[in-house]
Amino acid sequence: MTMLTAERLLLAYAQGVFPMAQSAEDPQLYWFDPPDRGLLPIGGVHVSRSMRRWLRQCGWRATINRDFLGVVNGCADRSETWINAPLVALYLELHKLGHAHSLEIYEGDALVGGTYGVSLGAAFFAESMFSRRDNASKAALIWMSHHLHQAGFTLWDTQYGTPHLASMGGFIIPRQEYRRRLGTAIRRRADFTAAELPDIQLLLQDMTQTS
């Protein structure tokens, strides 16, 4: 894959295709178009009672787009990763263009978890998440679920399904159904920065009212 630009990358997302590297050291990027696609329910991720108790006492706070590069680097900081330097550069360019966003989880002033992804219309393509404390990545997804709902998104793509995502309500659909939903979502409008994130107590209150 050569001369991949941010604009070409957005065109690929619009067709349901995304790039990954084989490792951080591999300079090449490869296209992926899996036969089944993972999704998460916007505004409706499953939050266990134990997780609600954890959130009530953890003292964490969440922000959006405060440290985009820090979140990307946190996601890449593992023994095996598909995020290489060319991908980081592309994500940063998309971030500057308003098409890539991060959600950070802080414990005091320390970045302890987060997630990031790409937005196009009302579709949000989740790329990765990380956690430096127990449950921090779960907290990021819970906040993100609420935020995407408030901002008007209708599709939350996770690329692949995992047991972790399934435990939070993630599900799998075939490629053809995914492309149908994707085509509808990218024609709609959503604004990732339109709504502010609530503090944890307001978030828990909202979850209680809607569950």
pLDDT tens for residues 94-123?
A: 999 999 999 999 999 999 999 999 999 999
- Residues facing residue 153 across a β-bridge: none
- Taking residues 168-187, report their average pLDDT: 97
Whether 85 contacts 101, CB under 8 Å: no
Contact residues for 181 (Cβ-Cβ < 8 A; gap 6+): 39, 155, 173
For residue 210, what pLDDT is reported? 55
Phi then psi for residue 31, to 5 deg, are -85, 145
More confident residue, 200 or 189: 189
pLDDT (0 to 100) of residue 1: 47
Other CB atoms within 10 A of residue 196 CB: 9
Alpha carbon distance 54, 197 (integer Å) = 19
What are the residue boundaries of the structural domains of the chain, listed by start? 36-80+99-210
Q: What is the pTM of this model?
A: 0.93
Question: Domain 36-80+99-210, CATH 3.40.630.70 — does that match?
Answer: yes
